């Protein structure tokens, strides 16, 4: 076996040197990154690749098989050589996957294609073919794993570096101060670098204007919640426990009564909490709204029939844990698609980000049309609103900023949400 060490500035160049010197059948034994100079600091790194080519394997037909013992010995030697090569190749692929290849592509080391005396050994030939196939797919699999890991980092927005470019760094810090995640910050700052000149990026006023327009463009809202149609409109609020669905439902009813019509009906299927039923009945009495309480999908359809002359039907539901898939499926049995019910997912702005996104994913089986964010008055920053739009792109319909009924509710619009995101800690209260 001939062994040789190659040095290059990058992996791609080194692999090409191995191929040119030892041929395509060369086996990569090891790779490592080397830095010259004192303690390896303030010096450029280079790569050292150790490769080998086995020239001692006999060529096809060059071995006599008259002696059975000799034949078995050579077969065992060949199988052992192939297995050792597979082990070395796998370790090499793992090492190369950790290096900093410009194209992020792991090598495709192969076994010598000639000289393995397996013609008279069908079982050994089958094993060799199988091992060759494993090696052939190894590089692609390592690239897939590495790509998936990088995609996960980009999605989570973790461990992304802040730019060393001063104007861009100030923009990134501005976004982080708004409570926007690192992933979204990186996306916006990359867009800014492509869209603005250095002079524009260095101007605080133009930078602020660019950020405001970008946030506004990224936000999706449904500003036409109450449709001016003759057909009856049906809306339901769903979501985790404790996010304020019943109170928000009463605020929406009061807003509709003030600005549109007075012909409204309430339905509640939240029979898990007696207090919730009583609370909705109190709101119904105050606003002179008929309330129907149902326990089953059949009763729910009958309630819709009773309220068929109403312009708007608002449906209250019990809070469901995102972890309880059975309860969410039970809720889906009430809210069938053929009943034409708009589904608004209610989420609290105080919820931790990973739990909030998990809730959105779990409740998505209901076919969510809009999102309502509550309790924004309890937060010092609302960058999470933008992260929601980047991840899910479900329009906002309402946001609530207090417990007062009917005052503390705002119909979502781009300008208001942009101002909220860009005004952290300013007392998010609207009169």
Higher-confidence residue of 56 and 291: namely 291
CA 377 to chain CA centroid, Å, is: 27
Same domain, 241 and 366: yes
Give pLDDT, residue 238.
93
Full domain range(s) for residue 89: 2-156
d(CA 115, CA 118): 9
pLDDT level of residue 397 (50, 70, 90 thresholds)? very high
Give the lowest-confidence range in 158-162, 231-235, 401-405: 158-162
Residue 39 has pLDDT above 90, yes or no: no
Give pLDDT, residue 265.
93
* DSSP per-residue letters across 187-206: HHHHHHHHHS-HHHHH-HHH
Same domain, 172 and 129: no
d(CA 233, CA 226): 8
Please give the mean pLDDT across all residues of the chain. 75
Same domain, 196 and 271: no
In a domain, 355, yes or no: yes
Same domain, 66 and 148: yes
Instruction: Assign 334 to helix, strand or coil.
Output: helix
d(CA 71, CA 209): 80
First-to-final CA distance of the chain: 83
In a domain, 428, yes or no: no
Q: Which residues pair with 347 in a beta bridge?
A: 373
**CA dist list (Å): 191 to 55, 306, 392:** 54, 54, 20
Same domain, 199 and 97: no
Higher-confidence residue of 399 and 28: namely 399
pLDDT, average across residues 66-83? 48
In a domain, 391, yes or no: yes
Give pLDDT, residue 215.
92
Tell the residue number behind the tokens 């998990």, with chain if given.
Answer: 358
Residue 291 has pLDDT above 80, yes or no: yes
What is the CA angle 68-71-76, rounded to 5? 125
pLDDT level of residue 124 (50, 70, 90 thresholds)? low
Higher-confidence residue of 391 and 293: namely 293
pLDDT level of residue 168 (50, 70, 90 thresholds)? confident
In a domain, 431, yes or no: no
Same domain, 265 and 334: yes
Give pLDDT, residue 55.
63
Give pLDDT, residue 321.
79
Burial class (CB within 10 angstroms; exposed 0-12, middle 13-18, buried 19+) of 260:
middle
Residue 82 CB neighbours (<10 A) = 21
Give pLDDT, residue 228.
65
Same domain, 60 and 145: yes
In a domain, 289, yes or no: yes
In a domain, 75, yes or no: yes
Give pLDDT, residue 110.
46
Residue 217 has pLDDT above 70, yes or no: yes
80-121 residue pLDDT tens = 544 454 444 444 444 444 444 444 444 444 444 444 455 556
Same domain, 138 and 17: yes
pLDDT, average across residues 293-297? 90
pLDDT level of residue 390 (50, 70, 90 thresholds)? confident
Percent of the chain residues topping a pLDDT of 90: 17
Which of 107, 127, 156 terminates a domain? The answer is 156
Residue 37 has pLDDT above 70, yes or no: no
pLDDT level of residue 300 (50, 70, 90 thresholds)? very high
Residue 148 has pLDDT above 60, yes or no: no
Which of 156, 181, 206 terminates a domain? The answer is 156
In a domain, 226, yes or no: no
Same domain, 67 and 90: yes
pLDDT level of residue 142 (50, 70, 90 thresholds)? low
pLDDT level of residue 292 (50, 70, 90 thresholds)? very high
* Beta strand residue intervals within 83-145, DSSP E: none
220-270 residue pLDDT tens = 998 778 766 668 889 999 999 888 898 899 999 988 888 777 789 999 987
Which strands make up the sheet holding 233-238, listed edge to edge? 290-293, 264-268, 312-316, 233-238, 342-348, 370-374, 396-400, 409-411
Percent of the chain residues topping a pLDDT of 70: 68
Give pLDDT, residue 135.
60
Give pLDDT, residue 28.
77
For β-strands 27-35 and 45-53, DSSP reports them as antiparallel
Which of 136, 156, 176 terminates a domain? The answer is 156
Same domain, 322 and 199: no
303: domain CATH number is 3.40.50.300
Nearest by Cα to 290 from 253, 328, 340 = 253
Residue 72 has pLDDT above 90, yes or no: no
316-354 residue pLDDT tens = 998 887 788 788 888 899 999 999 999 999 999 888 888
In a domain, 26, yes or no: yes
Domain count of the fold of the chain: 3
Residue 212 CB neighbours (<10 A) = 15
Same domain, 141 and 212: no
Give pLDDT, residue 368.
92
Task: For 376, list phi and psi in degrees, rounded to 5.
Answer: -70, -20
Same domain, 303 and 408: yes
């Amino acid at each position: 076996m001939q062994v040789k060490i190659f040095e290059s500035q990058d992996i791609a160049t080194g692999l090409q040197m191995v191929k040119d010197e030892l041929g395509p059948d060369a086996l990569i034994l090891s790779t490592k990154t080397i830095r010259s100079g004192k303690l390896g600091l303030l010096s450029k790194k280079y790569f050292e690749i150790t490769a080998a080519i086995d020239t001692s394997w006999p060529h096809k037909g060059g071995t006599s098989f008259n002696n059975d013992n000799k034949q078995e010995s050579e077969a065992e030697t060949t199988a052992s050589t192939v297995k050792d090569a597979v082990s070395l190749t796998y370790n090499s692929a793992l090492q190369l996957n950790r290096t900093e290849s410009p194209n992020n592509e792991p090598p495709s080391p192969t076994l010598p294609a000639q000289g393995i005396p397996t013609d008279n050994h069908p079982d050994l030939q089958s094993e060799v073919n199988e091992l060759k196939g494993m090696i052939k797919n190894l590089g692609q699999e390592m690239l897939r794993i590495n790509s998936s890991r990088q995609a996960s980092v980009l999605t989570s927005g973790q461990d992304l570096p802040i730019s060393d470019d001063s104007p861009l760094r100030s923009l990134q810090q501005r976004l982080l101060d708004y409570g926007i995640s690192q992933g979204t910050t990186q996306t916006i700052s990359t867009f800014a670098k492509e869209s603005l000149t250095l002079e524009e990026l260095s101007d605080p006023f133009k930078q602020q204007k660019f950020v405001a327009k970008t946030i506004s463009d990224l936000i999706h809202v449904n500003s036409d919640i109450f449709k001016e149609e003759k057909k009856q409109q049906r809306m339901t609020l769903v979501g985790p426990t404790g996010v304020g669905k019943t109170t928000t439902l009463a605020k929406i009813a009061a807003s509709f009564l003030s600005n549109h019509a007075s012909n409204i009906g309430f339905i509640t299927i939240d029979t898990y909490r007696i207090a919730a039923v009583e609370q909705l009945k109190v709101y119904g009495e105050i606003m002179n709204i008929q309330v129907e309480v149902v326990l089953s999908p059949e009763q729910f359809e009958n309630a819709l029939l009773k309220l068929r002359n109403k312009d708007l039907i608002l449906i209250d539901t019990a809070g469901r844990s995102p972890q309880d898939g059975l309860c969410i499926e039970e809720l889906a049995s009430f809210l069938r698609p053929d009943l034409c019910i708009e589904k608004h997912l209610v989420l609290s702005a105080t919820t931790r980000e990973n739990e909030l996104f998990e809730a959105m994913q779990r409740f998505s089986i209901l076919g969510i049309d809009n999102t309502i964010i509550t309790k924004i008055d309890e937060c010092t920053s609302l960058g999470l609103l933008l992260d929601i739009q980047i991840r899910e792109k479900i329009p906002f319909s309402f946001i609530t900023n207090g417990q007062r009924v009917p005052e503390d509710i705002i119909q979502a619009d781009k300008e208001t949400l942009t101002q909220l995101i860009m005004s952290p800690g300013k007392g998010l209260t609207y009169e």
